[in-house]
């Protein structure tokens, strides 16, 4: 029996889950929570992540009962990701806990794959990257990664989608935001109210259990975009 | 050690983390003694931008914070489990940078069920004076001048400080950085100006002294910077190279003059037994000399905070933490940065 804690802070949500793996491939969800930002206020990652994690592990006797940690590494909000990765790295440092970094878009795609409509189809995970851009990744019918995480303008993303042989099933905050562009390119976007648009930490647990732990100090957010200052420098020296 | 009636807590072994600006710092202190003080400076990273870029600083803090904490523990020869408490800078500073330290400290403390102490960064600069060797006893006046702050503080006990004066615009070190840029010198500007000023005449160019004559204790440096800009513009072509050293010397003297004038005025009530200089600008030889002369005239002790405790560091944060109430687990779980 293996207890896996997973969490993700790449989006406005603070997603936390505790999954118990039994023999074979069976697993049981012990705890799962996802708190979103309220209204227009800034995301509450700093205030909520650690409290949610402590609440999740309390029923199993605290951290000593936990075998593995999965952390969503983005792409997504830079500040949110740093809070998540710093938390995972500190837990690893304090408790010598193995940590598996999981791409947030892979967790999102795995959730899309649980929809009946997804059978035999590719899953397109899209997050709103602000500045009118999208973070996206494409996974195949067996969850295999077809496009690694990328950042693109909605027009470029639509072109890539239009070039696919089969229309993918899409979800995520970016799929809602760029619904028109994606649907025009042939993708099917799940209805706005579908829970597959959000990142659920049980998917992080499942991918972590199937993945390989990394040395904690090597775990880094998937930023995809350089800091603005780099862009200024490049422009200045051109 | 009793400081103005407020006693340092019985907690001895404290690990502190400081990430408010561009240095990733962790330290362990045992009482007032420094067991380790690790500073990983990003100065060379930010040099190419001519200043600290918040997003760049935050990314580096995240890469460095765990190795720096690990080094602080191993240099001190202790493990997390041995600590009495952890401490962390909660503000003021760059919010994204602070969050890396706050998140790390909170999580390390929660995982080991230790208490956590949140520290104000400026209180840390003040508390650098309480560390061995030769800890300073209040009441004293503390002038902290760096690229990020210019603060004149009255210190009567270990638990805090009274703000007597602060800058209304640029910090003293920032004024030197901006002046250096106008003179075509490198970053950080303070040391560059100081090196050049040695060859110049500090009285050759007149800079406004209005603020130094102002009866309040607040500082203002933006007028000086503008005056330097005009002084440079007035020069004939090719004259700047020739006059650069004089301009640097005069500009540096004007910055130091204002700092010393306010210090002198703050000393007037006569309730202080010592003066402490901290922050990166405290390394400036002219400032040290002028403050030293002032203290000698008044029969006061001048404490020059050692170099590695002058710039941002975590030993000073741990030192301040000794005098503050720790938050027990789980009170601090929802702490945010206080930018
Ligand atoms: Zn400072």
A236 interfacial to chain B (CB closer than 8 Å): no
pLDDT score, position A232: 54
**Rounded CA gap, A149 and A202, in Å?**
20
pLDDT score, position A139: 98
Q: Using the mean position of ligand 1's atoms as its centre, give its distance from the Cα of residue B94 in Å.
A: 11
Contact in structure between B69 and B104 (CB atoms under 8 Å)? yes
Gap from B156 CA to chain A (nearest CA, Å): 34
Collapsing DSSP to helix, strand or coil, A118 comes out as: helix
In this complex, the residue of B49, B67, B107 whose CB is nearest that of residue A91 is B107
Residue A102 has pLDDT above 90, yes or no: yes
Q: Using the mean position of ligand 1's atoms as its centre, give its distance from the Cα of residue B40 in Å.
A: 14
Element (H, E) at B180: helix B172-182
- Asked if B59 and A47 come within 8 Å (Cβ–Cβ), the reply is no
**Rounded CA gap, A201 and A78, in Å?**
18
**Rounded CA gap, A5 and B111, in Å?**
14
Query: Residue range A1-8: average pLDDT?
Result: 96
- Asked if A86 and B337 come within 8 Å (Cβ–Cβ), the reply is no
pLDDT score, position B1: 37
Residues 74 to 93 of A: which have CB under 8 A from any B CB? 78-79, 82-83, 85-87, 89-91, 93
**Rounded CA gap, A188 and A119, in Å?**
13
| Omega cis (within 30) before B31 | no
Q: Is the ipTM of this complex over 0.85?
A: yes
Query: Residue range B292-312: average pLDDT?
Result: 93
Gap from A23 CA to chain B (nearest CA, Å): 29
Closest CA to B137 of B269, B35, B272: B272
Q: Using the mean position of ligand 1's atoms as its centre, give its distance from the Cα of residue B269 in Å.
A: 27
**Rounded CA gap, B10 and B16, in Å?**
17
**Rounded CA gap, A49 and A39, in Å?**
18
Q: How many CB atoms lie within 10 A of CB B242?
A: 10
pLDDT score, position B52: 81
Segment B153-199, tens digit of pLDDT: 999 999 999 999 999 999 999 999 999 999 999 877 899 999 999 99
**Rounded CA gap, A118 and B28, in Å?**
54
Closest CA to B23 of B91, B74, B96, B97: B97
More reliable by pLDDT, A229 or A31: A31
Sorted by sequence, the CB contacts under 8 Å of residue B207 that are 6+ apart come out as B224, B227, B228, B250, B251, B253, B254
Between the alpha carbon of residue B99 and those of residues B42, B103, B124, the distances in Å are 17, 6, 17
- Asked if A90 and B104 come within 8 Å (Cβ–Cβ), the reply is yes
B3 pLDDT tier (thresholds 50, 70, 90): very low
DSSP B135: P
Q: Using the mean position of ligand 1's atoms as its centre, give its distance from the Cα of residue B280 in Å.
A: 8
Q: Which residues of B touch A (CB under 8 A)?
A: 48-49, 53, 55-56, 58-59, 62-63, 65-67, 69-70, 80, 96, 99-100, 102-104, 106-108, 110-112, 330, 333-337
B214 pLDDT tier (thresholds 50, 70, 90): confident
Q: Using the mean position of ligand 1's atoms as its centre, give its distance from the Cα of residue A78 in Å.
A: 24
A194 pLDDT tier (thresholds 50, 70, 90): very high
Closest CA to B220 of B231, B209, B230, B204: B209
- Asked if A63 and B100 come within 8 Å (Cβ–Cβ), the reply is no
- Strands (DSSP E) found in A98-227: 99-102, 123-128, 134-139, 145-152, 169-171, 188-189
- Asked if B67 and A87 come within 8 Å (Cβ–Cβ), the reply is no
DSSP A38: P
Closest residue in A to B334 (Cα) is A47
Q: Using the mean position of ligand 1's atoms as its centre, give its distance from the Cα of residue B266 in Å.
A: 22
- To probe the interface with B, which of A64, A229, A237 has the most B CB atoms within 10 Å? A229
Q: Distance from CA of residue B143 to its chain's centroid?
A: 9
Q: What is the sign, positive or negative, of the torsion defined by CA atoms of B56, B44, B21, B28? A: positive
Sorted by sequence, the CB contacts under 8 Å of residue A211 that are 6+ apart come out as A70, A100, A101, A102
Query: Residue range B43-50: average pLDDT?
Result: 73
In the block, residue with structure tokens 């030769």: B134
pLDDT score, position A230: 62
Query: Residue range A132-160: average pLDDT?
Result: 97
In this complex, the residue of A48, A54, A227 whose CB is nearest that of residue B110 is A54
- Asked if A51 and B99 come within 8 Å (Cβ–Cβ), the reply is no
Query: Residue range B306-334: average pLDDT?
Result: 95
Residue B7 has pLDDT above 60, yes or no: no
Contact in structure between A177 and A134 (CB atoms under 8 Å)? yes
pLDDT score, position B2: 37
pLDDT score, position A231: 57
Chain A residues inside the 8 Å CB shell of B80:
93-94
Gap from A129 CA to chain B (nearest CA, Å): 16
> What is the Cα gyration radius of chain B?
20
Q: Using the mean position of ligand 1's atoms as its centre, give its distance from the Cα of residue B286 in Å.
A: 21
In this complex, the residue of B53, B70, B106 whose CB is nearest that of residue A50 is B106
A193 interfacial to chain B (CB closer than 8 Å): no
Gap from B82 CA to chain A (nearest CA, Å): 12
Chain A residues inside the 8 Å CB shell of B59:
82, 223, 227
A35 interfacial to chain B (CB closer than 8 Å): no
Residue B47 has pLDDT above 80, yes or no: no
| Omega cis (within 30) before B133 | yes
Which region among A43-47, B124-128, B176-180 has the lowest average model confidence (pLDDT)?
A: A43-47
Q: How many CB atoms lie within 10 A of CB B226?
A: 12
Specify the pairing of strand B140-145 against strand B116-120: unpaired
Q: What percent of chain A has pLDDT over 90?
A: 87
Contact in structure between A208 and A70 (CB atoms under 8 Å)? yes
In this complex, the residue of B70, B100, B333 whose CB is nearest that of residue A54 is B333
Query: Residue range A178-194: average pLDDT?
Result: 97
The pair of structure tokens assigned to A165 is: 């042989």
Residue B46 has pLDDT above 90, yes or no: no
DSSP A122: -
A51 interfacial to chain B (CB closer than 8 Å): yes
Query: Residue range A139-160: average pLDDT?
Result: 97
Gap from B337 CA to chain A (nearest CA, Å): 8
Chain A residues inside the 8 Å CB shell of B111:
63, 90-91, 94-95
B4 pLDDT tier (thresholds 50, 70, 90): very low
- Asked if A86 and B110 come within 8 Å (Cβ–Cβ), the reply is no
The pair of structure tokens assigned to A109 is: 């795609």
Segment B58-101, tens digit of pLDDT: 999 999 999 999 999 999 999 999 999 999 999 999 999 999 99
To the nearest whole number, what is the mean pLDDT of chain B? 92
- Asked if A82 and B80 come within 8 Å (Cβ–Cβ), the reply is no
To the nearest whole number, what is the mean pLDDT of chain A? 93
pLDDT score, position A151: 97
């Amino acid at each position: 029996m293996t207890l896996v804690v997973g969490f993700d802070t790449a989006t406005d949500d603070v997603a936390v889950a505790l999954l118990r793996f039994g023999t074979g491939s069976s697993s049981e969800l012990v705890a799962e929570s996802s708190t979103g930002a309220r209204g227009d206020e800034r995301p509450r990652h700093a205030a909520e992540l650690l409290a949610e994690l402590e609440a999740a592990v309390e029923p199993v006797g605290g951290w000593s009962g936990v075998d593995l940690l999965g952390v969503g590494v983005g792409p997504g909000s830079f500040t949110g990701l740093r809070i998540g990765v710093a938390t995972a790295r500190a837990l690893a440092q304090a408790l010598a806990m193995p940590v598996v970094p999981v791409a947030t878009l892979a967790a999102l795609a795995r959730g899309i794959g649980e929809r009946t409509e997804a059978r035999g189809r590719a899953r397109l995970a899209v997050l709103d990257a602000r500045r009118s851009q999208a973070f996206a990744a494409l996974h195949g019918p067996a969850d295999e990664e077809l496009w690694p995480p990328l950042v693109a303008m909605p027009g470029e993303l639509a072109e890539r989608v239009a070039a696919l042989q089969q229309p993918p099933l899409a979800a995520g905050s970016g799929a809602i935001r760029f619904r028109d562009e994606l649907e025009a390119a042939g993708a099917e976007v799940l209805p706005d109210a579908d829970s597959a648009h959000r990142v659920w930490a049980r998917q992080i647990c499942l991918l972590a259990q199937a993945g390989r732990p990394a040395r904690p100090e090597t775990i880094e957010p998937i930023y995809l975009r350089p800091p603005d200052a780099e862009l200024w420098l490049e422009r200045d020296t051109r | 050690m009793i400081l103005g009636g407020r006693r340092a807590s019985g907690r001895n072994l404290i690990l502190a983390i400081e990430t408010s600006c561009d240095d990733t710092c962790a330290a362990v202190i045992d009482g007032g003694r420094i067991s380790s003080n690790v500073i990983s400076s990003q100065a060379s990273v930010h040099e190419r931008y001519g200043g600290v870029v918040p997003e760049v600083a935050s990314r580096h803090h995240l890469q460095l914070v765990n190795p720096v904490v690990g080094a602080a523990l191993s240099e001190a020869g202790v493990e997390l489990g041995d600590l009495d408490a952890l401490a962390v800078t909660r503000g003021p500073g760059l919010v994204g940078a602070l969050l890396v330290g706050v998140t790390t400290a909170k999580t390390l403390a929660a995982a080991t069920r230790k208490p956590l102490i949140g520290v104000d960064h400026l209180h840390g600069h003040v508390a650098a004076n309480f560390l061995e060797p030769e800890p300073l006893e209040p009441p004293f006046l503390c002038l902290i001048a760096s690229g990020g702050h210019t603060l004149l503080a009255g210190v009567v006990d270990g638990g805090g400080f009274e703000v007597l004066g602060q800058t209304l615009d640029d910090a003293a070190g920032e004024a030197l950085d901006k002046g250096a840029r106008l003179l075509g010198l490198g970053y950080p500007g303070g040391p560059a100006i100081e090196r050049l000023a040695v060859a110049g005449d500090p009285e050759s160019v007149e800079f406004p002294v209005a603020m130094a004559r102002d009866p309040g204790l607040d500082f203002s440096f933006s007028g000086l910077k503008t005056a330097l800009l005009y002084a440079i513009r007035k020069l004939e072509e090719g004259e700047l190279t020739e006059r650069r050293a004089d301009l640097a010397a005069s500009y540096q003297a004007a910055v130091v003059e204002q700092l010393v004038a306010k210090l002198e005025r703050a000393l007037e009530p006569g309730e202080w037994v010592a003066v402490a200089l901290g922050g990166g600008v405290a390394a400036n030889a002219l400032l040290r000399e002028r403050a030293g002369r002032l203290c000698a005239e008044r029969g006061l002790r001048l404490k020059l905070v050692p170099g590695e405790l002058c710039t941002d560091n975590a030993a000073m944060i741990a030192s301040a933490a000794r005098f503050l109430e720790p938050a027990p687990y789980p009170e601090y779980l929802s702490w945010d940065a206080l930018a």
